[in-house]
Amino acid sequence: MEDSFILTREQILFYRKNGYLVVPHVLTCEQCDKMNQIFEQYAKDHGDKEFKGIMNLDREDHRIRDLLRYYKIVLILDALQDGEVVGLQSMFLFKKGGTDYAPQAWNPHQDNAYPRAPHGMYLTGNIPFADQDRENGCMYIYPGSHMESLLPADFFKSFHEEPGKNPGHDVSRSLPLDYPRVDLPMKKGSVLILHGNVVHGSYPNRSQRDRPMLLIPFGTKGITQQPNFIPGKTAKREEFSLRPLSYKL
Ligand SMILES: O=C(O)CCC(=O)C(=O)O
Ligand SMILES: [Fe+2]
């Protein structure tokens, strides 16, 4: 497991074919607990009893920025993307058991429906800080759907969708029917890389367990200069270098 972040040819080909890749054991349990604690503490310090999520904490807290530049993650991105990869923002979702936001299940959507980058330039790294499965709201995916361009969607807010409503620009009515849906249970400390156009969503958390996950949008350098690129009012996507890499979390 030592070198699980140096991708094999099979892993790279899997990503090209399917539009996603789960790399296990990128972070240790201790590293996950430490990162999760930073978000929990932030919520506590700010009297946040809602536990919706926290946007762009990496801009205030160097420990989160260091995670975004962690060498194992950047080596994975480098292997999958042709050009230099830059960071854009970060979003942490608590999906805490028993809270108003626990049942929030994401509609099948393409992440690139928000920034609208040229095909293949935008990708997301998702890091679960606890094991996730169907009961506590894991993700599901339609392998191969990243080959599609941006599909017509019913628009729903992402981060700002209220409790009781499901976020994610819904492509249910336009996704060709021949894509099978695959559940993606993940172990704590794995990294899921999603091609910006691959269709995915998630289940509600109906358990009493938390489902903390950090979502990190990345892009090929120059992505924010593309003519149709949308930085987003809430997300405020802006390029930052992942260099120098960080080696310690
Ligand atoms: O947190 C989830 O369950 C999915 C989130 C997601 O897909 C997104 O933020 O784009
Ligand atoms: Fe997504």
pLDDT grade for 34, boundaries at 50, 70 and 90 = very high
Does the structure show a pLDDT above 90 at 1?
no
The yes or no reply on domain 23-225 and CATH 3.30.70.3270 is no
Atom 1 of ligand 1, nearest CA residue: 93
List Cα–Cα distances, 143 to 64, 139, 169, 184, in angstroms. 30, 13, 18, 11
Within 6 A (CB) of ligand 1 lie: 93, 106, 111, 139, 158, 200, 202, 213, 215
Domain edges within the chain: 23-225
- Taking residue 213's Cβ as centre, other Cβ atoms within 10 Å add up to 24
Instruction: State pLDDT tens for residues 202-220.
Output: 999 999 999 999 999 999 9
| pTM: predicted TM-score of the whole model, two decimal places | 0.97
C-alpha 25 to ligand 1 mean position (Å): 21
Q: Which residue, 235, 233, 199, 201, is CA-closest to 218?
A: 235
What does the radius of gyration of the chain's CA atoms come to, in whole angstroms? 17
Measured in angstroms, how far is the CA atom of residue 158 from the centroid of ligand 2? Answer: 9
- Closest residue by CA, ligand 1 atom 8: 111
According to DSSP, the residues that pair with 246 across neighbouring strands are: 70
What is the average pLDDT across 76-87?
A: 96
pLDDT of residue 162: 85
How many other CB atoms are there within 10 angstroms of residue 31's CB atom? 18
